[in-house]
Amino acid sequence: MGNGKQYFEDVPSFIQNHKGDLAMLDFYKKLKNHVLSQLLDDDGSVEYTSADHSAVLFENNRLYQHKVVRINYTTYDLCRNQDSINPRTHPHIMVLSPEGSDHPFTYGRVIGILHANVCIQRVSGSRLVPTSGFKHVDFLWVRWFWYDTVTN
């Protein structure tokens, strides 16, 4: 994913513009959870509080949009390969399902490719450690479909 800052949206405007969209359900909370897990280098299983969420600052209050993300991976025969995801032309993805799921795969549609420059501001009594300056965090905005919704 690139570092470009040409296409951006103000965070509150982005949320307001997509109000009513099911893909926006808990979007801001999930985004801040993702940002915190990236900045604090945890596995994403930590439950963050509203005080933790309020410590997250977005540089210039912006989300930067991208048209394509390229994924490098190793094929079954140990060769290197690359695939691209474009929300307009190739938005569908398939990933391994979490352990214990009925189906081995979970399916999704990439709605947006975004990045933000974020930092953690220490809040009094918070267990969070502040970052030194803003950090670049990439993320995909995905609408997930589970196996039973795909086949029914």
Distance CA 112, CA 136 (A): 17
User: For 78-121, how does the pLDDT look when each residue is reduced to its tens digit (9 = 90+)?
Assistant: 999 999 999 999 999 999 988 888 888 999 999 999 999 999 88
pTM (two decimals): 0.79
Q: Examine the pLDDT at 151 and tell me if it is beyond 60.
A: no
Three-state secondary-structure class, residue 133: coil
Answer whether 112's CB lies under 8 Å from 141's CB: yes
Distance in angstroms (rounded) separating the CA atoms of residues 72 and 83: 7
Residue at token pair 């439950």: 47
